[in-house]
Amino acid sequence: MARILAIDDDPHVLSLVVRMLKAEGHEPRTASGGGDGVRLASEWHPDLILCDIVMPEPNGLEVLATLRRNRETASIPVVFLTGVPDPKHLHAGHALGAEDYLLKPFTSQELLHAIEARLARVAFVRRETQRRLDDLRRELGTSLPRDLLAPTASLLGLSAFLRDEGANVPPELVSEVAQGIFDGSQQLQRAIEKLVAYADLERLVQAVRTQPAFAADRRSQAGAVVAAAAREAAGWLQREGELELSIEDVTVRIDAGHLRRLVFELVENAVKYSPKGKAVAVLCRSISASVCRLTVSDQGPGLAQDVASTGSQTWDTAQAATHTGLGLAIVRRIVSLYGAELSIRSAASEGTTMVVQLLTCA
């Protein structure tokens, strides 16, 4: 059963709609004008609104605009009722977010079909939103405590040492402790930056419905961005000399800032979990007229076989002690946002290769 508000200045239409809805077990309420409809929508919070377009002020389009400006009613689906489908009205309604139209006179079957379709869509969006929230909680619950608590514990320990023993500590040791505090502060700052980046990407992924359309007008020159981001990530860990770069300058369909973040997280992760002195290879090259392949390979301990073989997007820390953290959650969000593909090749004691296939520009 759904709560459905019908707004129309024709009492006969309202009476007909009420009978149809009650016969199907729905809970209807009515408003004979746009002003009353907006007020009732704000007070009652219906699951769906049926609204006539041509009414005394405010008309249906003005009602919809008012509903969309109100935070409490902005997400309520609206189906317009219209006797004469004016193209200008239809276009304006679509621009404001109207979900559907019913042409008067309509049958009970047509009305119920429109309602069921809209409610099914709302239910799907809610399930998808809940799934993404669950993914967010799981990813943050896995990676965030480690990423934030480790540098915080270091800062607390070192600062407590100076507080309690500072008067008796030789100058050279004070300098060493200060360096430790500085390094821990940088690590904490990086972790917070990752958290902010992840939250921004999550909001963007939620807002974008059609990934190819989103990526269509975004482009960057991969050569300079990939090389700079890789060097920055390795330099942050003081291991830039271990990079092996093989990069073509390909124009790819991704925002330059997101490409930089993608490369930085992949390379930082690879360098972090590779033994010192072992090379980390970064390759970026066109493999077809429409695809660019970005590959980051390390010589670390590798992933658990079941995780690597499936290219799973859920990183189980009980199975893989390495290659975990908020950085790869960020990578997955960027890949999802641009309709790219992420695959993983890994074997125990033989390292891990992360492959991202990006769309290119003609």
- What does the domain layout of the chain look like in residue ranges? 3-106, 137-207, 212-359
The pLDDT score that the predictor gives to residue 181 is 83
Q: Are 70 and 42 in contact (CB under 8 A)?
A: yes
CB proximity list for 101: less than 8 A, separation 6 or greater: 79, 80, 81, 82, 85, 90, 93
Q: Are 201 and 329 in contact (CB under 8 A)?
A: no
Angle at which helix 171-207 crosses helix 108-165, to 10 degrees, equals 180
The pLDDT score that the predictor gives to residue 142 is 57
- The CATH number for 212-359, chosen from 3.30.450.40, 3.30.565.10, 1.10.1130.10, 3.20.20.100, is 3.30.565.10
The pLDDT score that the predictor gives to residue 283 is 95
E strand spans, 77-222: 78-82, 100-103, 220-221
Token pair listed for 334:
């960027």
The pLDDT score that the predictor gives to residue 209 is 52
pLDDT tens for the chain, 362 residues: list them: 889 999 998 888 899 899 999 998 999 999 988 898 999 999 999 998 998 888 888 888 888 888 888 878 887 888 888 766 555 555 554 554 455 677 778 888 888 888 888 888 778 777 766 676 666 556 555 555 566 666 777 777 878 877 777 677 777 787 888 888 888 787 787 777 887 888 788 777 766 654 445 656 788 899 999 999 999 999 988 899 999 999 999 999 899 999 999 999 999 989 988 888 899 999 999 999 889 999 999 988 776 544 444 343 333 333 333 344 678 888 888 888 888 889 888 776 678 899 999 988 86
Output phi, psi for 104, to 5 deg: -75, 145
The pLDDT score that the predictor gives to residue 362 is 65
What letter would DSSP give residue 227? H
CA-closest candidate to residue 165, choices 156, 174, 176, 155? 174
What would the CATH number be for the domain defined by 3-106?
3.40.50.2300
Residue 5, classed as helix, strand or coil, is: strand
Range 204-242 burial, b when 16+ CB lie within 10 A, else e = ebeeeeeeeebbeebbbebeebbbebbbebbebeebeeb
Token pair listed for 102:
């019913």
CATH architecture type of domain 137-207: Orthogonal Bundle (1.10)
